[in-house]
Amino acid sequence: MFSKTEKDVPTVTPTASPDRGGKSNAPSIISNNLKVTGNLNTDGDVQIDGEIDGDVNSKQITLGESGVVNGAIIADMARISGTVNGAITARVVELGRTARITGDINHFSLAIEPGAFVQGQMSHVDEQKLKPASNGTGQPKPTMVTPEVDKIDKKGNDSGKSLAN
């Protein structure tokens, strides 16, 4: 009555473990009670709700309202709702209403919600100039771009590009 026969014993079929070498769709998360000192480099996505004292280099960065980055952000896509004290270089930059940026923004596409605070220069950059370049970690990163400035020598001669040209 209570005895088990071989028919009653379930068989366990081993399954293959997931490939750890494959890319994950889940973002790396820096929670609001975590402070990181140093640079972050990843091929994936990063969600930051804590504090980073260093540069962040990622495919996509989401900075939550409680998130703080004290350093440069380099990404393909940057969604910012927190505080950034440093430059942002990304193909697409979205600033939420709670964003506080102190630093320059280099972008191809820029969206700013009412209420966002920006203190710095915003430079529209041709998308091709933001093509990935090697950063030595095997991860591509956008190339930092600075606007060209007219150069005038001490005699007043224009040696650079003129706005009229």
pLDDT exceeds cutoff 80 at 107: yes
Provide mean pLDDT across the span 125-153.
53
> What pTM does this model have?
0.67
Provide mean pLDDT across the span 94-121.
96
For the stretch 27-75, pLDDT in tens is: 899 999 999 999 999 999 999 999 999 999 999 999 999 999 999 999 9
DSSP E strands, 33-145 = 35-37, 40-41, 45-48, 51-53, 56-63, 68-69, 73-80, 83-85, 88-95, 100-102, 105-112, 117-119, 122-124, 132-134, 140-142
Percent of the chain surpassing pLDDT 70:
64
For the stretch 80-102, pLDDT in tens is: 999 999 999 999 999 999 999 99
